[in-house]
Amino acid sequence: MTDISGFSGLFSPVQSPLATQSNTSLRQAASPVKENAKIEKAAKDFESILLGSWLQQAEQSFASLPGGDDEGDADVGKEQFQGMAMQSLGTSMTDSGGIGIAKMISKQLHKAEDSRIADTAKPQPNASN
């Protein structure tokens, strides 16, 4: 009798196309949650940065008085700290609902992701025919 135990690692079980498709579907089912979190975070981050930039520009334009003494306010780190404060304020505003930019961006990114998933789920035509 021939001992074939040494060949057991050479052969792999054949998977049916249905099993392969179900494995792919299971992997795709886990990814939407992760993709949703990424989309929401990106949209909120964008709105926070945009709001912080707008607030910083508004603060700079309203902080100086015409005819005022600019040298009295010539602190070395003043602009840096004001910039950080405005970015923090922008983040806080976004976390409490923002002005709706994150929602619009998120909605469009979800549509794009849904259409990408739908396109990958469609059966591809056989190129060999």
Q: Are 23 and 75 in contact (CB under 8 A)?
A: no
Residue 53: count of CB within 10 angstroms of its CB: 14
Query: Token pair of 17, please?
Result: 């196309």
The full set of domain ranges for the chain reads 40-63+75-120
pTM (2 d.p.): 0.60
N- to C-terminal Cα separation, the chain: 46
pLDDT one digit per residue (tens) for the chain, 129 residues: 555 555 444 444 555 554 455 455 445 554 678 888 999 999 999 999 999 999 998 888 877 766 666 665 567 788 888 889 999 999 999 999 989 999 999 999 999 988 888 888 777 766 555
**H or E segment and range at residue 76:** none
Query: Token pair of 75, please?
Result: 């602190």
Q: Are 91 and 52 in contact (CB under 8 A)?
A: yes
**What is the Cα–Cα distance from 39 to 29, expressed in whole angstroms?**
16
